[in-house]
Chains A and B, each alone.
Chain A
Amino acid sequence: MTNMKKLILILFSALLFTSCEDVIDVDLEEGKPQLTVDAILTNLDEPQFVRLTLSGNYFDASSVTPITNALVELTDSDGNNYTFKSPDENGKYELDSQFDSLVVGREYYLKVTYNNEVFTSKSVVRQVPAIDSITWSRENIPFGDVDSIWAVQFWAYDNPGLGDAYWVKATRNGVVKISPQSITVAYDGSTGRGAKTDNIPFILPIRASITPGGFAGPPDGEEFIEVGETVGVQLFSISLDFAEYLTILQDQLNNGGLFAKPPTNLPTNISNQNSNGSKALGWFEVSNVSTDSGEISWERSNNRK
């Protein structure tokens, strides 16, 4: 629901054809830099790392500085201790080894010591459904310069039981897409926290979210999918709190126009052991991920074996 509402409201603003937007200069106050913990660990076959930076001034990208002198420790509820390599100049602390598999129900504890302050966080691993398949077909669209596009969907069932949440990432030719308009979060198979659906196939807007473009046309700089390209999905099974974080993130990055909401700060699950100490930003989550991908072609419409 939230995604749909967002889309509708964006379209509202677009339709008020005399409205306009200008980039202007604004003098902002400068706030104190804060420790930012970027720690999303998965079972994917790629290097796993925790990235630490300091927040910077809003307009100045270079003012976000990496932290290379902190101590990062990771343990779990079964008593395992995970070691990190030395940080690189981007503030990335890479784990010595990847996770072959993540045990469902296991709790992971992250501890970051920086500037004489200790920050901790924890995350519980959840079950993730397997992806059944990827399908694709030509669909007509009401907008855009073209009449039809390749619409790609992934198929999977929501876990039985209420209270599941997922982060859906799209990949294209092996590269994960990072775009503020396409942070897709599902609650029990649907969008919107209020939904009480369960164990259904993910609903159409979620399934089709991996198509570059979707309903309104691809974001600037992107092209529609062509035959021969590979479109894939990474389905993260996440905690409800993380889903909340991502939903607010998407809201905040797309918060403009006539129906803008008051900007809010993202929540965080990184806490200072000293509750009167400085506050940290970011999120720590250990997540089971299912993946799948398919190569678009005319000969077949899905990637089932």
Chain B
Amino acid sequence: MKRIILLSLLIPFLNLFSQEEYTLSGYIKDKSSGESLIGATISIKDTKLGAVTNAYGFYSLTLPKGKYTATASYIGFEKLEKTIELNKDTKLNIELSTLDILSDEVLVTAQKANNNVASIEMSTLELSAQTLTRMPALLGETDVVKSIQLLPGIASVGEGSTGFNVRGGGIDQNLVLLDEAPVYNSSHLFGFFSVFNPDAVKDVKLVKGGIPAEYGGRLSSILDVRLKEGNNRKFNVDGGIGAIFSRLAIEGPIIEDKLSFLIAGRRSYIDVLAKPFLADGLEDSKFYFYDLTAKTNWKIDESNTLFASGYFGRDVFGAGFGFDWGSQTFTTRWNHLFSDKLFSNLTYYYSNYDYKLQFGEDDQDVFKWQANIVTQSVKYDLEYFFSPKNNIDFGIEALYYDFVPGNAVGVSDGISVPISLDEQFAGQLSAYIGQEIDASDDLSFKYGLRGSYYQYLGPGTAYYYGDTTVGISKPLISEEKFDDFANIADYFNLEPRFSVKYQINEESSLKASYNRMAQYVHLVSNTAASSPLDVWTPTTNNIKPEIADQVALGYFKNFDDNEWETSVEVYYKDLKNQIEYRNGADLLLNEYLEADFLSGDGRAYGAEFYIKKNSGDLTGWISYTLARTERQVNGINNSDWFPARFDRTHNLSIVGFYDLSKTWSLSANFILSSGTPGTFPTNRFEWQGYYIPHNEEGSRNNFRIPMTHRLDLSVTYDPEDEPNQWWTGKWVFSIYNVYNRKNPYSVYFRNNENNPAVTEAVRFAVFGSIVPAISYNFNFDVDKLIND
């Protein structure tokens, strides 16, 4: 192994002694819109050489001088062949035409990707914009996060929960990126929809394991969402009017083929429609979200492109009080090609997640609270394409965090009492280097090393606590004030990454991976669902960075010329420094919050099974995960391992799409998952007239609530378009929870309202009914309209 690696590092130098080599490079784009295609393949006929485009659609292939036939392909597009005489460094930009997916030729010309088998990537799910539109629509709308929850290894605590759990990790362990800027709360309306507007999304990649060195900062997954650049060939208007929300997206060129833009917005009005159904007294309630996603890109010349993108969104909730939260992100990037082999990208981003609460409207008696977290970063990433079998990527990132954990003022009878927590600051510096190498025809490696250095910075106060018996807040021993940019505490972590692929034959492969991840920001929450009142906290002198080590092994096999894709993956993840809270901890506006934290270990392991049918009238997939995720914290559950709040033993999703005809199609999804654990009492005692539950063993998560299962259906009617029609539209009608199952979100215990001496177990379901929805999606081709 070592010899192969050393030898392969010498390959670039062997150029000097072998025949002349030249580089074929360029961008692969969508012909109709000019959008670059991420992960498109270019392969050289009669060889095993090829390349895949990077996040900006760029590829680079260094080959010996000669004549070649290059084939470019991408899911949903027609393959394109080009013959080239390679006798100097050549720029070859390729444009692919969209495939008419309903045409009969689909079986002949469609590229049936065997990427899942051939690529070194494992534990990775990639969805392009095209695939997203074919996902089942919840409440009439397709959604990025809801779609990935139907794939193996992804679970959620239940309906109404923000975030998602990947391979047994908490919801804060996913690095959610929108054009490289981190998003701290990826949900609207308590998890029913994500902040990603499908009209603006080009590509979504979820990496659950074998995470490459270029990513870092969270333990369990990377959700990398890339926005469309904006059609730079023609104006396009897409929109939809639905029962829950409406959306409008406008994109087009400002200077054709050079400068384009995209603006997409959404606004929900569920509160307006729900008014007649609300209980008396709640008529003044508000419950809506809106968001705006925008992007512009400027292709300065063949070697330089500039991008700017931003997101602004808000959720508003109120009924006699006001509560709103949201994110704003802004990213600007500069792609620069140093040469045909060296691609670079410089990014600056700003991300702000804030939440505000106001209780009371009278200025004399009011309570206002706000918190936010601002992250800024400059990062520089480079990719060097030595040869089709060997590329290196490396880069550096500097991050600055500004946490405002709680800025509040309580006005009582005109007396104003500020109740604020100190602002907290931190800085992080990371550097990485990785290499992907084809050691032989069958064996490929991708490995790398990432180093992350984190500093908890002043100005601020560091608290030092003493030990105590578990269950009581730790006593404060001393406080120390620090100046601006002083180093209060620092940590350094090396994060090695490694993956290997053994190609058994054209249709099957075996893959294995290992990664170590370090996480320096943590979501503090001890409630069942993450509420917007939950606060993000930095690593401090008291809170250590979380560390995860994950190994995964997978077998990938395709059948019938890639018509069927199957895979089995097993993983084991070891987690350190997981934060738990002492029983009864009060996490809101608590200056001495860290005194209530407990630190523990975690472990998650499981097997994921996946079968997918790619073509034909009936397509879809079945995904099944068998998994366990547990925590061990001294002082909780008698210091024994206990299942985590989001542990679900079985998780099954069956998704199907059926094309009835050219205009009608059906989709259905059925999910079934084990109940999550709950802590149930064993006894009751009486005290001062109260009937109080008690768990005599002191156990945590000693029971499972009943399982969840649900069927959703949707029907799409897409009438045939006339050739010169300037607008097209389609109807989507969906039913969520078709057989009206009250899926338990939690089971809790309470005293009966009328007779407190009677205690009862209550099943709480978020969606206790069938929810039908209808939406109309339209598209205006502005050029056709003008030329009409």
Residue B101, interface by CB 8 Å: no
Encoded as 1 (CB less than 8 Å from any A CB) or 0, chain B from 636 to 652 comes to: 00000000010000000
A305 and B190 CA atoms in complex are apart in Å by: 53
* Binary flags per residue of B460-477, CB closer than 8 Å to A gives 1, else 0: 000000000001000000
Question: Which of A13-21, A99-107, A114-122 forms part of the interface with chain B?
Answer: A13-21
CA distance in complex: A5, B359 (Å):
10
Tell whether B754 is near chain A: CB-to-CB under 8 Å.
yes
CA distance A105 to B597 in the complex (A): 33
Is B748 engaged at the interface, CB distance under 8 Å to the other chain? yes
Looking at the complex, which of A81-89, A124-132, A243-251 is the stretch in contact with chain B? A243-251
Q: A61-B758, A192-B586, A256-B764 are in contact. Are A15 and B282 (CB under 8 A)?
A: yes
Residues from chain B with a CB closer than 8 A to the CB of A204 are: 365, 412-413
Q: Which residues of B contact A249 (CB under 8 A)?
A: 690, 692
The residues in A between 143 and 158 inclusive whose CB is less than 8 angstroms from any CB of B are 143-145
Contacts A258-B531, A260-B746 hold; do A281 and B694 have CB atoms under 8 A apart?
yes
Contacts of B533 in A (CB 8 A): 5, 8-9
Contact A21 B685 (CB under 8 A): no
Q: Which of B590, B681, B706 contacts A193 (CB 8 A)?
A: B590
Q: Which of B17-25, B48-56, B315-323 contacts A (4 or more CB under 8 A)?
A: B315-323
Q: Is B769 on the interface with A (CB-CB < 8 A)? A: yes
Give A17-41 as 1s and 0s: 1 = Cβ < 8 Å from B's Cβ atoms: 1111111111011111110101010
CB neighbours of B529 from chain A (8 A): 258-259
Q: Within residues 453 to 503 of chain B, which ones have a CB less than 8 A from any CB in chain A?
A: 471
| Cβ-based interface call for A77 (8 A) | no
Q: Are A64's CB and B684's CB within 8 A?
A: yes
Task: Tell me if A20 and B751 are in contact (CB < 8 A).
Answer: no
Are B692's CB and A266's CB within 8 A?
Answer: yes
Q: Which residues of B contact A61 (CB under 8 A)?
A: 684, 691, 757-759
Instruction: Bits for B406-435, please: 1 = Cβ < 8 Å to A, else 0.
Output: 000010110101010100000000000000
One digit per residue, 1 when the CB lies within 8 angstroms of any chain A CB and 0 when it does not, for chain B 382-413 equals: 00000000000000000000000000001011
Interchain CB contact under 8 A, B768 and A15: no
Tell me if A230 counts as interface (CB < 8 A to partner B).
Answer: no
Q: Give min CB distance, A188 to chain B, whole Å.
A: 10
Once the chains bind, are B281 and A144 in contact (CB under 8 Å)?
yes
Name the residue on B nearest A256 (C-beta): B748
Contact between B588 and A26 (Cβ–Cβ < 8 Å)?
no
Tell me the nearest residue of chain B to A24, going by C-beta.
Answer: B763
CB contacts (< 8 Å) of B700 on chain A: these are 262
Contact yes or no, A281 B685, CB < 8 A: yes
CB pair A18–B769 under 8 Å, yes or no, is yes
**Cβ-defined contact, B753 with A219, below 8 A:** yes
Which secondary structure dominates where chain B touches chain A?
loop
Chain B residues contacting A29 (CB-CB under 8 Å) are 680, 682, 697, 702
Min CB distance B241 to A, Å, is 22
Within 8 Å CB of B317, what residues of A?
12, 15
Smallest distance from the beta carbon of B746 to chain A beta carbons, Å? 6
Minimum C-beta distance from A82 to chain B (A): 20
A78 to B152, CA, bound (A): 69
* B interface footprint on A64-79 (CB within 8 Å = 1, 0 otherwise): 1000000000000000
Residue of B nearest to A29 (CB): B682
- For B419, the chain A residues whose CB sits under 8 A away are 1, 190, 192, 194-196
Q: Does B12 contact A (CB under 8 A)?
A: no
Instruction: Contact check, B684 vs A264: say whether CB atoms are below 8 A apart.
Output: no
Chain A residues contacting B320 (CB-CB under 8 Å) are 142-143, 215
CB <8 Å contact, B695 and A263: yes
Contacts of A144 in B (CB 8 A): 280-281
Q: How far is the CB of A195 from chain B (nearest CB, A)?
A: 6
Q: Would you call B410 and A203 a contact (CB within 8 A)? A: yes
Q: Which residues of B contact A145 (CB under 8 A)?
A: 280-281
Q: A253 on the interface (CB 8 Å rule)?
A: yes
Asked whether B323 lies within 8 Å of A8 as measured between CB atoms, the reply is yes
Q: Does A174 contact B (CB under 8 A)?
A: no
Contacts of A55 in B (CB 8 A): 683-685, 694, 696
Give B307-332 interface residues, CB cut-off 8 Å to A.
Answer: 317, 319-321, 323
Which A-chain residue is minimally distant from B687 (CB atoms)?
Answer: A38
Q: Which of under 10, 10 to 19, 20 to 34, or 35 or more describes the interface residues of A? A: 35 or more
A19 partner, pick from B588, B698, B703, B764, beta carbons under 8 A: B764
- Nearest residue in A to B527 (C-beta to C-beta)? A259
Which one of B271-279, B566-574, B717-725 is at the interface? B271-279
Closest to A206 in B: B412
Distance of A86 from chain B, by nearest CB (Å): 21
With the chains together, A137 CA to B757 CA distance in Å?
A: 34
How would you classify the secondary structure of chain A's contact residues: helix, strand, loop or mixed? loop
Question: Closest CB of chain A to B599's CB: distance in Å?
Answer: 17
Asked if A160 CB lies within 8 Å of chain B CBs, one says no
Which of these, A142, A195, A247, contacts B281 with CB under 8 Å? A142
The yes or no answer to A162 lying at the interface (CB within 8 A) is: no
Question: Which residues of the partner chain B approach A214 to less than 8 Å between Cβ atoms?
Answer: none
A269 to B109, CA, bound (A): 77
Inter-subunit contact B682/A26 (CB<8 Å):
no
Tell me whether A194 and B590 are in contact in the complex, defined as CB-CB below 8 angstroms, given that A142-B320, A265-B583 are known contacts: yes
Closest Cβ–Cβ distance, residue A212 to chain B (whole Å): 15
- Determine how close the nearest CB of chain B comes to the CB of A297; give it in whole angstroms: 23
A180 at the interface (CB under 8 A from B): yes
Please tell me if the beta carbons of B767 and A220 are within 8 angstroms of each other in the complex.
no
Establish whether residues B691 and A23, one from each chain, have CB atoms under 8 Å apart when the complex forms: no
Residues from chain A with Cβ under 8 Å of B279 in the complex: 14, 17
Known contacts A15-B317, A20-B765, A194-B591: A31-B695 contact under CB 8 Å: yes
Q: Which residues of A contact B687 (CB under 8 A)?
A: 36, 38, 281-283
Q: In the complex, which residues of chain A have a beta carbon less than 8 angstroms from the beta carbon of B694?
A: 31, 34, 55, 58, 265-266, 281
Interface residues of A in 251-305 (CB under 8 A from B): 251-267, 281-283
A178→B696 contact, CB < 8 A: no
B693 in contact (CB, < 8 A): yes
Across the interface, do A261 and B750 meet the contact criterion of CB distance under 8 Å? no
Given A36-B687, A220-B753, A267-B584, the answer on whether A143 and B696 have CB atoms closer than 8 Å is: no
Taken together as a complex, chains A and B put the C-alpha atoms of A251 and B417 apart, in Å, by 25
- Verify if B287 is at the interface (C-beta below 8 Å from A): yes
Nearest opposing residue in chain A for B765, CB measure: A20
B742, CB-defined interface residue at 8 Å: yes
Taking a contact as CB atoms under 8 Å apart, the answer to whether A36 and B686 are in contact is: yes
**Residue ID in chain A nearest B701 by CB atoms:** A262
A residues in contact with B693, CB < 8 Å? 58, 252, 263
Is A97 on the interface with B (CB-CB < 8 A)?
no
Looking across the interface, which residue of chain A has its beta carbon closest to that of B284? A142
**Cα(A53)–Cα(B367), bound, Å:** 42
Q: Which residues of B contact A18 (CB under 8 A)?
A: 766-769, 771
Instruction: List, in ascending order, chain B residues with CB within 8 A of A283's CB.
Output: 687
Q: How far is the CA of A271 from the CA of B323 in the complex (A)?
A: 44
Q: How far is the CB of B534 from chain A (nearest CB, A)?
A: 9
Is A24 within 8 A of B682, CB to CB? no
What's the least CB distance linking A75 to chain B, in Å?
23
A contact residues around B758 at 8 Å (CB): 61
CB atoms of A56 and B683 under 8 A apart: yes
User: Is B359 touching A8 in the complex (CB atoms < 8 A)?
Assistant: yes
Instruction: Sort A-B residue pairs by CB-CB distance and give the 6 closest, nearest first.
Output: A31-B696, A31-B682, A20-B768, A264-B583, A143-B281, A203-B412
Further contacts, 15 of them, CB under 8 A, given A179-B756, A200-B415? A13-B764, A19-B764, A20-B765, A23-B760, A38-B687, A55-B696, A61-B684, A142-B281, A195-B417, A203-B413, A256-B746, A257-B746, A260-B527, A263-B749, A267-B471
Listed A/B pairs (22) with beta-carbon separation below 8 Å: A1-B419, A16-B160, A29-B702, A31-B683, A34-B683, A57-B684, A58-B682, A59-B760, A61-B691, A144-B280, A179-B756, A180-B756, A194-B589, A194-B590, A197-B417, A201-B412, A203-B413, A249-B690, A255-B748, A255-B750, A258-B160, A266-B692
Residues on B facing A (Cβ under 8 Å): 160, 190, 274, 277-282, 284-285, 287, 317, 319-321, 323, 357, 359, 365, 367, 410, 412-413, 415, 417, 419, 421, 471, 526-529, 531, 533, 583-584, 586, 588-592, 645, 679-698, 700-703, 706, 742, 745-751, 753-754, 756-769, 771
